[in-house]
Every structure is written in C-alpha cells, then in structure tokens.
Amino acid sequence: MTQQNRFDRRDFLKATGVAGTLTLTGLAGCSGNGEDGSGTTTAESMEIVAGTAPGFPPFEEKDGGDLVGFDIDLLEAVVEATDYELAGWDEYEFGSLSPALQNDKIDVIAAAMTINDERDESIDFSDPYYDANQAILVANDSGFSPSEMADLEGQTLGAQKGTTGESVVQDTLIPDGIVSEDQYNSYDNYVFAVEDLVNGNIDAVVLDTPVADSFVAEREVSVAFTYETGEQYGFGVREGDSELQTALNDGLATVREDGTYEDLVAKWFK
C-alpha cells in the first residue's frame, strides 16, 4: 500500500480556466484538527489529498510522468468549486484505495469506483458522476467472437484486482461453471491485462465499457459484447465525513450546471 508521486495540478486548472475561486472559510477541514487554537478554521485544515489507481484509461493513467484522465480533471474542477483545496494526488493499486482512505492516508478516492453495497459498508460516496456496464474485450486476430457469457466457457479470462470485472468473473462465471479458478488471471491494472490479451496469453478481458472503448481506440482489440451491470461511479470519502461529501456533491452540481462536466466528457470520451 505504498503511496507514490504526490503532485499538485491546481495551477493547470487555473491556467486552463477550469479553476474557480477558493474561499477557505466556513467548512470544517478533513485533515488536521481544523483550528488554530482560537477556534478559527485554518487553511491547512481545508486541504485534502486525493487517491487514484492509474492504468484505467481514460479515467486515470500515466502520460510520461504525469497523472491524467477524466477523474483527475473532474475531481480537480469539483474541488475548485468548493471551499476545500486539493493538496495533491497519491497513487495506489485499486484494492488499496479504500484502506488508504480509512487509515487517513488520503481524503477522497477518484478512481472510477463503482458504488455498491459492499463498499458502502466501509466508506461513503458522493452522488454518482458516471454510468457504465461491463465489456468483454477480445484480440482482433484471435478468431474468438463470443456473443454471450456462455460462450466464455473454457476460456482464460483476465480482469483487474478489486474491480467489478473481477467480481463478474469470481461471483458469476466461476460459480456458474463457465470458467474455473485456474482459467482466471488477476492483474494489478488493465494495461497489463490487455497486453496479455494482445500477446495471446489470455482469451478475453472483462472490464468497464468506457475503459474498453479506450483500449479499442489504441490497441488491436474489440468489444465482443456488453454485459449489463448498471454501474454508477462515485467519489469515495471516509464514512461519516458528511461535510466533504456534501461539498463534493455541491461541486458536482456546479460543474454540471456551468458546462465543465460536458467539456470534460467531450475531451476524454469523444
């Protein structure tokens, strides 16, 4: 659960016109004790650190040494519309994000994280900001063209650890006898899974539809079919952190109303 590469992108948002004006008053902070000894909320207490898991394009990925993606730009725009200040980003494997949040290593998760009952038992979520399903990705030169889950029988599948794609394999395909545990490969991120797919080491990858579309645009792969899951992504916050949760919800509403959200969708998905 090593954290790496914390950096500040606020200047980028300000330079591109996405940033709003911060007023560091009025809300209790989510780091530090929130007071300077006289009962006044300090600027430091308003700073929050975000956590993400690169390797999930176009939501979060590395471009050279830079962390980029829809989640990165969206969260920064949302926070700029609140009284909070984004101090920087920490990078984790996806499965380590919730523990990092619970252990106060980070204050918010922005990682295309699906809102579900299991996660909601240990962390809270903002309002949803993106809808998705699961896609079955295959290599173009493999000759494998499944059209439904039953067609995956006996094939070797891959997915990223801790994701909905992995849950589909472990909670549906393996119990239903479509694939065995030995026919499933778990990866730290989807970049590695797709590399194995293209190299012929696995037969298909189960992953979120917008991420699949991103790989289709860049690799010799295609979406064989879509598995409807009706997922919604949300920003994760510590359980009971209602002030930050409310601020993020208000910020999401602001960026939707002022057109920033649609601009970012156009930038990353169209």
CB 40 within 8 A of CB 116: no
What angle do helix axes 242-257 and 70-80 make, rounded to 10 degrees? 100
pLDDT (0 to 100) of residue 235? 98
- Predicted pLDDT of residue 10: 44
Give residues with Cβ within 8 angstroms of 162, minimum separation 6: 93, 94, 95
**pLDDT at residue number 14:** 42
Mapped onto helix, strand or coil, the DSSP state of residue 226 is strand
Residues 6 or more apart in contact with residue 260 via CB below 8 angstroms: 18, 77, 254
**pLDDT > 90: what percent of the chain?**
82
pLDDT of residue 236: 98
Residue 45's pLDDT band (cuts 50, 70, 90): low
Q: What is the pTM of this model?
A: 0.78
Higher pLDDT, 77 or 22: 77
Give the start-to-end residue ranges of the domains of the chain.
46-129+234-269, 132-230
Helix, strand, coil % (nearest 5) of the chain?
35, 25, 40
**Architecture of the domain whose range is 132-230:** 3-Layer(aba) Sandwich (3.40)
Percent of the chain exceeding pLDDT 70 equals 83
Interval 199-215 mean pLDDT: 96
Task: Output the CATH code of domain 46-129+234-269.
Answer: 3.40.190.10
Contact call for residues 206 and 169 (beta carbons, < 8 A): yes
What average pLDDT is seen over the chain? 87
Please state the rounded mean pLDDT for residues 131-135: 96
Map residue 13 onto helix, strand or coil. helix
pLDDT in tens, 240-261: 999 999 999 999 999 999 999 9
Identify which of 149, 167, 174, 131 has the alpha carbon closest to the alpha carbon of residue 224.
149
What pLDDT band is residue 270 in, cutting at 50, 70 and 90?
confident
Backbone angles phi, psi at 67, to 5 degrees: -90, 120
The 10s digit of each residue's pLDDT in 6-17 is 444 444 444 444
46-129+234-269 and 132-230 agree in CATH topology: yes
When pLDDT is cut at 50, 70 and 90, the band that residue 27 belongs to is: very low
